[in-house]
Amino acid sequence: MSVSPAAKPLRPLLEAKGATMRFGGVTAVNAVDFVLGEVELRCLIGPNGAGKSTFFKMLTGQLTASAGRIHFRDTDITAAHPHEIARLGVGIKTQVPNVFNGLSVRENVFVAAGRKKSLARTRAIVEETLTRLKLTEIATRLVGQLAHGQRQWVEIATVLAQEPELILLDEPAAGMTKEEVERTAALIREINRTHAVIVVEHDMPFIRMIAKTVTVFNQGRILIEGDVDTVLSDARVRDVYLGKQAA
Amino acid sequence: MTRPPSPLRALVRPAALSFLAMVASGLVILFGAPHLLDTFGLVQMTGFVAMAMFALSQGFIWGYGGVMSFGQAAFLGLGGYAYAVAVLNLGDSTLPVLLAIVVPMLFAGLLGYFMFYGRISDAYIGVITLTVSVILFQLVNTTSGSQYRIGEAELGGFNGIPAIPALNLPGDAGNPLDPEGIWYAAMGSLILVYVVLRAILASRFGRVVVAIRENETRAQLIGYDPRLYKLLAFMISAGIAGLGGCLFANWGGFISPTVFGLTMSAQVIIFVLVGGLGTLLGPILGAVLIQWLTIEAGAQSLIDSNLGLGAILVTFVLLIPQGLVPVARNLFLRLGTALIGRRMRAKPLGPAPGAALAGEVRR
Ligand SMILES: Nc1ncnc2c1ncn2[C@@H]1O[C@H](COP(=O)(O)OP(=O)(O)OP(=O)(O)O)[C@@H](O)[C@H]1O
Ligand SMILES: [Mg+2]
């Protein structure tokens, strides 16, 4: 048997084993095992307080797991700093928008695109991203003066401009109009042709627009994981999630 | 690749123009002042410029770096003392000037490393820097007596170091500059530092420093390490403050522990607040204006000058919290927009609140 590198079993793009986050007495994420393949699209749903955003923070180094391990490809990122994880190729749009309010739209994207790249390449990425997200018209506006929906787009633009391999989107459709939601869905499908994406959303029609595989969080644990139709018709999911939303 | 659309260029060009106008005005003052002022006036202006340099360091680290360094006097003092001690030992002032910049930078590097890499919160950074400046003040204050000397230089405790040799042209140690020469050196270096800071802010490094001020979390999530950027910005500001200290020592030919004092640290914060936080011109103008007012106030005996200063600060914080320069710039923008709008019936450019900030970031 040959010992070529190709023969090595491939690690998944992202793998969490027993990932746990405790805040004092609260266990927000409880022994979560999670695997994501290359260029996979995964939707993460679950009721308020289920631990979805906390899980994202653990994946991006904003929080350090109380227990368990997280790997990005071959790198153990359990205790890594956010900037180190970002450099490995993980980008995130956070639930509460994190943008540079005092800078213009273009400057926001420029700062995100420009790390370790030539000026010409950076500029090319900036213009391409602005065009792609239809932000060219408002490129000189201050982000702090934009409407919530537009700021979401700017944040997504900064994430794309940084050219990550894995993109985490925490409630990307929140506060958007119906038309914007449809654009977001189309964009995610397009991104997913080349990138792995994890999307957290409460908006079920939106989930149905994009989802293949769905993971349901409840009280810090994974309740069920599988094909979108199977999961969304599962009685337990209706109980903890859809039932709650209908109420 | 698509070309950047014209609105950006329209914004960049006025910024470049205003930069050139600033440098030109600086040069006019540099060469004009010796013709218009007598020696006394010129020396007074040199003192203003030394403090303006100090204010630039505060304005950079606080206004652009977002670091609440409230003990900048530590670096002013270190620079002044480094110059004094070195020039008394060496004679020639070239190396001492470099030391006045490098010593505070290294000290800031050490202090900043512990603060930024030690995950000290923003508010504590204010407390720590202030405390460090007070400790330095106390330390230098207790160095009276001939046992406290570095080579030829006696530190002199609270009496300070008198008769500090003035700057000389490199290699010409026997010929210290006259007050006019010192003026050229001081004002020339202020213009130079202004230009260097503009270049830094326009560079990628500078953009990231400002981005971190705007949102540290986002900067991290993009892949920048805020600790490193803050540390470097902190060191740059310390070097500028140190150069201010060197000019200060040259201005009076004398330095005492008061340069490390709380009053110094507080004063420079007032300069920046009055002139405008988040601008470079603001701190310079604030420093000159307040010092001029202080001198005018000192010349009269109606009200206590400290009380007067306090009143000015309170008035500013309550009435013009953004400071003079942003307010003036906003007015200017509004006026310009109104004029252009009338002529071209174009869409309003939107001189909304914060327009000043946008301009400042671009420049
Ligand atoms: N920093 C913190 N300190 C203490 N408790 C926290 C902290 N962050 C989150 N929690 C708790 O952890 C639990 C999970 O919160 P999280 O924000 O991850 O939920 P979520 O699934 O994202 O909910 P939502 O859908 O409302 O965004 C909640 O009970 C929350 O109160
Ligand atoms: Mg959440």
For the segment B137-153, the average pLDDT, to the nearest whole number, is 84
State the Rg of chain B over Cα. Answer: 21
**Structure confidence by residue, pLDDT tens digits, A9-30:** 578 999 999 999 999 989 999 9
Q: Please tell me whether residue B348 adopts helix, strand or coil conformation.
A: coil
E strand or H helix that includes residue B55: helix B39-58
Residues of A whose CB is below 8 A from B357: 102, 142
Quote the Cα angle for A13-A17-A20, to 5°. Answer: 120
Distance CA B106, CA B94 (A): 19
Interface list for chain B against chain A, based on CB atoms closer than 8 Å = 1-2, 4-5, 7-8, 11, 204, 207-208, 210-211, 213-215, 217-226, 350, 352, 354-355, 357-358, 361
Q: What is the mean pLDDT of residues A36-58?
A: 95
Contacts of residue A199, Cβ cutoff 8 Å, sequence gap at least 6: A41, A42, A43, A44, A169, A172, A188, A207, A210
Ligand 1 site-directed mutation target among A27, A53, A200, A241, most atoms within 8 Å of CB: A53
Sheet with A14-23, side-by-side order of all strands: A26-36, A14-23, A67-72, A75-76
CB contact under 8 A, A82 and B221: yes
Query: Residue A107: its chain B contacts at CB < 8 A?
Result: 207, 211, 361
Those residues whose C-beta lies under 8 Å from the C-beta of residue A138, and which sit 6 or more positions away, are A105, A146, A150
How sure is the predictor about A35, in pLDDT bands with cuts at 50, 70 and 90?
A: very high
Position A95 scores a pLDDT of 94
Of the partner residues A86, A128, A140, the one whose CB lies closest to the CB of residue B222:
A86
- Give percent of chain B above pLDDT 90: 56
Phi and psi at A70, nearest 5°, equal -130, 130
Please tell me the distance from the alpha carbon of residue B191 to that of residue B27, in angstroms, as a whole number.
8
In angstroms, rounded to a whole number, what is the distance separating the alpha carbons of residues A137 and B294? 49
Q: Where residue A8 falls among pLDDT bands split at 50, 70, 90?
A: low
Tokens 């290699």 belong to which residue? B171
At B226-271, the pLDDT tens digits run: 999 999 999 999 999 999 999 999 998 899 999 999 889 988 999 9
Q: Which amino acid is at A225?
A: E
Question: How many Å lie between the centroid of ligand 2 and the Cα of residue A233?
Answer: 23
Q: Which atom of ligand 1 is nearest to the CA of A217?
A: 21
Q: Residue A43 has which token pair?
A: 């939707």
* Confidence at B12, pLDDT banded by 50, 70, 90: low
CA–CA separation, A80 and A61 (whole Å): 6
**Tokens linked to B219:** 């900067």
Distance from CA of B90 to the nearest CA of A (A): 43
Which among A61, A99, A145 has CB closest to B218?
Answer: A99
SS3 A26: strand
Query: What value does the mean pLDDT take over residues B117-129?
Result: 91
Q: Across residues A110-115, what is the average pLDDT?
A: 92
Lowest mean pLDDT among A3-12, A52-61, A132-141, A188-197: A3-12
Alpha-carbon distance values, A212 to A184, A225, A228 (Å) = 16, 11, 6
pLDDT tens profile B35-86: 999 999 999 999 999 999 999 999 999 999 999 999 999 999 999 999 999 9
Residues with CB under 5 A from ligand 2 (ion): A 53, 95
User: Please, which residues bridge with residue A21 across strands?
Assistant: A29
Sequence-separated contacts (24+) of B151-158 with Cβ below 8 Å = B151/B85, B151/B88, B151/B89, B152/B88, B152/B89, B153/B84, B153/B85, B153/B88, B153/B89, B155/B81, B155/B85, B156/B256, B157/B257, B158/B256, B158/B257
Q: Where are the domains of chain A?
A: 101-162
Query: Which residues surround ligand 1 with Cβ inside 6 Å?
Result: A 23, 26, 28, 46, 48-54, 95
Helix or strand (DSSP H, E) at B35: helix B6-36
Alpha-carbon gap, residue B292 to B314, rounded angstroms: 18
Probe residue for ligand 1, chosen from A20, A21, A22, A23 as the CB with the greatest number of ligand atoms within 8 Å: A23
CA distance A152 to chain B (A): 13
The neighbouring-strand residues paired with B176 are B168
Higher pLDDT, B19 or B103: B103
Q: Do B207 and A114 touch (CB under 8 A)?
A: yes
Say if strands A75-76 and A67-72 run parallel, antiparallel, or are unpaired.
antiparallel
The model's pLDDT over A194-213, given as tens digits with 9 standing for 90+, comes to 999 999 998 888 999 998 99
Do β-strands A196-200 and A166-170 pair in parallel, antiparallel, or remain unpaired?
A: parallel
Q: What is the maximal distance between C-alpha atoms in chain B?
A: 76
The span from the CA of B279 to the CA of B283, in Å, is 7
Per-residue pLDDT tens digits for A122-166: 999 999 999 999 999 999 999 999 988 889 999 999 999 999 999
β-bridge partners, B161:
B255
Among chain B residues, the shortest Cα distance to A164 is held by: B222
Burial track B275-306 (b if 16+ CB lie within 10 A, e otherwise): bbbbbbbbbbbbbbbbbeebeebeeeeeeebe
In sequence order, which residues have a C-beta less than 8 Å from that of residue A222 and are 6 or more positions away?
A32, A33, A34, A215, A216
Cα–Cα distance between B250 and B181 in angstroms, integer?
11
In the chain, the amino acid numbered B244 is: G
- Confirm whether the ipTM is greater than 0.95: no
